Structure 1
Amino acid sequence: MRLTKRGEYALRTMIRLGIAEHQNEGVISVSTLAEQEHLPFKFLEAILFELRTAGYVESVRGKYGGTRLARPMKTIKMGEIVRLIDGKLAPIGCASETEYEKCSCPDETHCGLRMLMIDVRNAIANILDKYTLENVVEVTLRKQEQCTTSRKPAKKKAGSPKHADPADGFLAVLLDQGA
């Protein structure tokens, strides 16, 4: 699975709207959303249209109008949003539950690659379908709070390659209840 820019922007938008709801900010204008999340305005409008059509967000018209969540955060699974925007979670079509495509393998039933990719799909689906928008908003806010209350600046070596540190992952922050 590769999350497209459209999928990434949709998830970032939903998380920002969830934070706004958690902090009682009310509706957020599309221009403010685009500016805060560094997203192209027209692209964001198209994504919001899709999210609105599916019932995840709603628009409020008028001078102080904007967008807000249409459903409680605890009822929105992250996997739902990814599937809505990007479709299948499987890395290859023959491993997909929702958008199966016959592969060119001569023996699909016994294909080791297909079996491996089914496990990859299952792992991705298990995580995305386990956590709700509420969980992600909670972890995001917790991480922001940790960063603002931390007295030690993060140690970074000059010229070191950028990488995804496992300690910065969602599950690491979610499971770090003591910090």
Structure 2
Amino acid sequence: MISQKAKYALKALVALARTESGKPCAIRDIAARERIPQSFLEQILIELRRAGLVESRRGKDGGYLLAAAPSEIGLGRVLRIVDGPLAPLPCLSRTAYRRCADCPDEAACTVRAVFLEVYETTIAVMDRTTLADALGSAAGETPWSSAVDTSSR
């Protein structure tokens, strides 16, 4: 499950992706439109700015805007920035690998084996899905449906 902070970050980025290219959007406008507490949104946007996903402009017509095209901002990257590693087990993490203290043999670990496929499939979808895809999904398109074969489920 993603955190509320990650959900707000994604909502804010989608809101910025919907604004006219090159035109900053004020925090108060995003907060009101997306129903995000403004002080929490400020913290989130500062974090996203430090990570290079958004830019800020000062002044009367200032605000935030995307630092790249929506098609270049992957949801997996956003979630890692906001929530940290996505792996369900530390021994599966690509960015924060840590051997499990109670596991003498990773290769023979049944828990790791079960979650490996789930994790790899989830990561593939998240890393392939972009803000542009999220905008399309809001319009009824589902870009990730072809990523997982659900016919046998």
TM range (shorter): 0.7 to 0.9
**Aligned positions of 1:1-179 closer than 5 A:** 2-21=1-20, 26-103=23-100, 104-140=102-138, 142-143=139-140, 171=144
Task: Give the secondary-structure state (helix, strand or coil) at the position aligned to 1:59.
Answer: strand
Cα deviation, 1:38-68, whole Å, max 9, x if unaligned, reads 1111111111001111111111211121111
Cα deviation, 1:99-125, whole Å, max 9, x if unaligned, reads 112211233220111111121211111
Return 5+ residue gaps in structure 2 as ranges: 146-153
Task: Give the secondary-structure state (helix, strand or coil) at the position aligned to 2:19.
Answer: helix
CA contact (8 A) 1:59 1:67 kept: yes
TM-score of the superposition, structure 2-length normalised?
0.85
Return 5+ residue gaps in structure 1 as ranges: 147-168, 173-179
How far did 1:26 drift? 2.5
RMSD: 1.9
% of aligned pairs identical?
Answer: 35
How far did 1:139 drift? 2.3
How far did 1:17 drift? 0.8
Partner of 1:149: none
TM-score of the superposition, structure 1-length normalised?
0.73
CA contact (8 A) 1:76 1:133 kept: yes
Letter in 1 for 2:24: V
Of structures 1 and 2, the larger Rg is shown by 1
